[in-house]
Amino acid sequence: MKKILYFLLTVFCIVGVSVVNNEHVHAAAPSATIKITTLETGVFDETLEQKMITLSKASPVIVLSEADGWAEIQYKTVIGYIPSEYLKSAPPQYMLVQAKEEPLVHVTNNEESDIKGKLHLNTIVELYGSATADFVFVKYGRIAGFVNKQAIVKPVSKAMIVKNSNDLVVREIASSSSTEIGVLRKNSPVKMLTNLKGWAFVTTDKLSGYVLTNGLVTSPVVKEKPANPKPAKDKKIALTFDDGPHPKVTKQILKILEKFEAKATFFVVGQEVKEHPEILKAVYNAGHEIGNHTFNHEKLTALSAKEIKQQIQATDTLIKSTIGQRATVFRPPYGSYDKTITDQLNVPNVLWTIDTLDWKHRDPKKTVQAVKEHAKNGSIILMHDIHQTTADALDEVLATLQKQGYEFVTVSELLGK
């Protein structure tokens, strides 16, 4: 009986028909995560005692849930469990659907198997894993399954930018009723991979999905460089601020950063975002990166897996509801983390290389001195935007580093993410 319930739940989660341009979309829960196996492993039933099948390395699977070191997965028609450590998240390869007619998505790599739906021509799908003799595993919205590999090709990208107007909503599929997965800010550069019936699939370093085509314009032609261009800066430092946003100090820090044309990363605490959402919006609108620093700054290694998940997800949800997109990096309070924590992350776990100890000594001179003594190319500097003494030190910190030729970038820019 339990296995039947698992099957029904899985069908509800991943089976649906996606239709382009405001046509009907079947109601379904958000699609499950796709991951890739890292080695040959057995799939066990719900008692974790009886092996059902053996998965080969690099098999794409649908992850239905994860808890206590085990992942409940679906592979073709089989639902069971494998150790979470045998799975890894893999970035999808974006492919264009091109065929004489709309290709069918099958449950298995066999044309005689059940059909989950069909893919509309000229849509972009996510390709996972390697191809079999005739089939590939793809995902489009709530549909995930096998299609004939002859039906998809590599798309040709075109440089575009978001129009100088309101931010542009990014959706999971080409439909105004589909799930919103983020927003693109005005003037953002994007790569367009397809354009159909008023929808375009675009991709950036941080976000990929469908947007309304009328929100894009062709990227202007880059002018030739002057005969004697200024030498490019190759010394970069990431300034990071933890524990905010603060209604007074964060505003002061934003003004100083603007003065030096510096970008920074703010690792925010959920309960502070809840109290001061307008400050977070100001940070984001100024072009700075937003990181997740848990909901109330508890030491995560002292919590259960469920409590860790709540700390991370509650903050992520609050950030998205405030600025329209989730955090792009994570920092554990006190720098304390383990595999249980990192397994729950979908973004980089970022610590620091220079601790100014501004939270401890509350002395602007000591903060400046810490930076002067330890700054080097690639440094990640830890400060806190909740102390007035940090704001008092920042002007001299930036002036000193700027004289030394440093460029101030976000953590993701520094790490090349």
Which active-site residues does the annotation give? Answer: 242, 384
User: Closest by alpha carbon to 117, among 61, 72, 173, 34?
Assistant: 173
d(CA 54, CA 75): 10
Cβ atoms within 10 A of the Cβ of 238, count? 25
d(CA 219, CA 217): 6
Q: Is 30:144 a contact under the CB 8 Å cutoff? A: no
Q: In what order do the strands lie in the sheet with 208-212?
A: 180-184, 168-171, 208-212, 199-203, 189-196, 158-162, 216-218
Q: Is 248:389 a contact under the CB 8 Å cutoff? A: no
Strands 189-196 and 199-203, by their bridges, are: antiparallel
d(CA 401, CA 260): 10
d(CA 228, CA 207): 36
Q: Is 213:198 a contact under the CB 8 Å cutoff? A: yes
**R_g over Cα of the chain:** 24
Q: Token pair for residue 388?
A: 């007035």
Where in 119-235 does DSSP place strands (E)?
124-128, 135-140, 143-148, 152-153, 158-162, 168-171, 180-184, 189-196, 199-203, 208-212, 216-218
Q: What's the half-sphere exposure (Cβ side, CA atoms, 13 Å) at 300?
A: 27
Strands 158-162 and 104-106, by their bridges, are: unpaired
Q: Is 263:286 a contact under the CB 8 Å cutoff? A: no
